[in-house]
Amino acid sequence: MILATGIAGGCAPTRPLPAEEPLQAQLKVDLRKAATANARLTEKSRLLEARVKELTAREEQLSRALHRVNFSNSQHKSQLKALASAPAMRDMYKSECDELRARNAALTKQAALLQERIIKLKARPSDTPTAAAATR
Residue 16 has pLDDT above 80, yes or no: no
Chain CA centroid to CA 135, Å: 79
Q: In which band, very low, low, confident or very high, does the pLDDT at 1 lie, cut at 50, 70 and 90?
A: very low
Single pTM value for the model: 0.44
Q: Report the alpha-carbon angle 105-110-116, nearest 5.
A: 125
The one-letter amino acid at 118: I
Residue pair 104/110 in contact by the 8 Å Cβ criterion: no
The mean-pLDDT minimum among 4-18, 66-80, 81-95 falls in 4-18
Q: What b/e readout covers 95-117, taking b as 16+ CB neighbours within 10 angstroms?
A: eeeeeeeeeeeeeeeeeeeeeee
Judged by DSSP in three states, 109 sits in helix
Residue 20 has pLDDT above 70, yes or no: no
Distance, CA of 66 to CA of 75 (rounded, Å): 14
Q: What is the pLDDT of residue 3?
A: 47
Q: What is the pLDDT of residue 14?
A: 59
**8-state DSSP, 16:** P
Distance, CA of 103 to CA of 123 (rounded, Å): 30
Q: What is the mean pLDDT of residues 61-77?
A: 97
Distance, CA of 83 to CA of 86 (rounded, Å): 5
pLDDT digits (tens, 9 = 90+) for 40-54: 999 999 999 999 999
pLDDT digits (tens, 9 = 90+) for 76-133: 999 999 888 888 899 999 999 999 999 999 999 999 999 999 998 988 876 555 555 5
Q: What is the pLDDT of residue 124?
A: 83
